[in-house]
Amino acid sequence: MSSKVIVITGASSGIGAALARHLSGQGHSLVLAARRAPELKAVASQVKGLAVVTDVCKRADVKALRDAALKAHGHVDVWVNNAGQGLTRSVLDLTDEDVDLMMSVNVKSALYGMQAIAPAMMERGSGHIINISSFLARVPLAAYRSAYSAAKAALNSLTANLRMDLALSHPKITVSVVMPGLVSTAFSQNAVGGPPQRLTDGVPSQTPQEVAAAIAELIEKPRAELITNPALAAVGQRYVLDVEAFEAKMRTGAR
């Protein structure tokens, strides 16, 4: 793969940090963003990338991230909207603040990224925008993720609509959504409301390194959607084919 300039948000830990390390090993130039300066700078020093402390919930910060990347490299080939946060709360217990936070962190942050970088990619005539969503946006495997799952479903929809828009006028710009399942990171521990009392039984998990490798392959061979865990692809198909039967099995603990 030829060397690319790649921006990654949420790069101080988890999938973002693993992706930065994987892409660095392939020789790409990286611009990394996150709120936590010490952790971000530690990852950036490991991968020889540019660290830009960024609160992706602030549009001005995201624009400043774009400007820093363009100033350093002249263009951006790939922009990965990876930053996000979980929530442990059932639907009937959600507050206005819960829903607002999930939409801000998981939808508006990516919207700011798309709106910031798309014009530069359109002017250049090429580029790849990648939004990191969740398999929970497609299948309700964890009801306690409620508003988080809803926000990721909204992100899936925004991604698809941007892809359709740009396909008409700028066919060399790809817009992809990535849907990991359960990943062995601190995501659950860092979720608002704390970790759930019990994780959903039987859901196959991946390491952040496995997810990073799948995203790196997507960068090399772009496509519209990626479910990073092959074991979940069949689960998604069964859900779409018969929602009632799938949910009935979920309630009995079968899948």
- Mean pLDDT, range 128-151, rounded to an integer: 95
Q: What is the pLDDT of residue 198?
A: 62
Region for 48 from its dihedrals, namely left if φ exceeds 0, alpha if ψ lies in -120 to 50, beta otherwise: left
Whether pTM exceeds 0.95: no
Q: Which residues pair with 177 in a beta bridge?
A: 131, 225
Rounded Cα–Cα distance for residues 32 and 8 (Å)? 5
pLDDT greater than 60 at residue 120: yes
Which tens digit of pLDDT belongs to each residue from 163-189?
A: 999 999 999 999 999 999 989 877 777
Rounded Cα–Cα distance for residues 224 and 237 (Å)? 17
CATH of domain 5-251: 3.40.50.720
Rounded Cα–Cα distance for residues 35 and 152 (Å)? 21
Beta strands at 173-179 and 225-227: parallel, antiparallel or unpaired: parallel
Q: What is the pLDDT of residue 255?
A: 46
Confidence of residue 199 (pLDDT cuts 50, 70, 90): low
Kindly list the domain boundaries of the chain, sorted by start residue.
5-251
Catalytic residue, candidates 112, 144, 148, 239: 148
- Short-list 68, 77, 61, CA closest to 44: 68
- Short-list 148, 150, 235, 242, CA closest to 190: 148
Which tens digit of pLDDT belongs to each residue from 2-46?
A: 899 999 999 999 999 999 999 999 999 999 999 999 999 999 999
Report H helices in the chain.
Answer: 14-25, 37-47, 59-73, 96-103, 109-124, 146-169, 187-190, 208-220, 230-241, 243-251
Which tens digit of pLDDT belongs to each residue from 42-62?
A: 999 999 999 999 999 999 999
Q: Is 239 in the active site? A: no
User: Mapping DSSP to helix (H, G, I), strand (E, B) and coil, where does residue 227 land?
Assistant: strand
* φ, ψ at 139 (rounded to 5°): -135, 130
Query: What count of residues does the chain have?
Result: 255
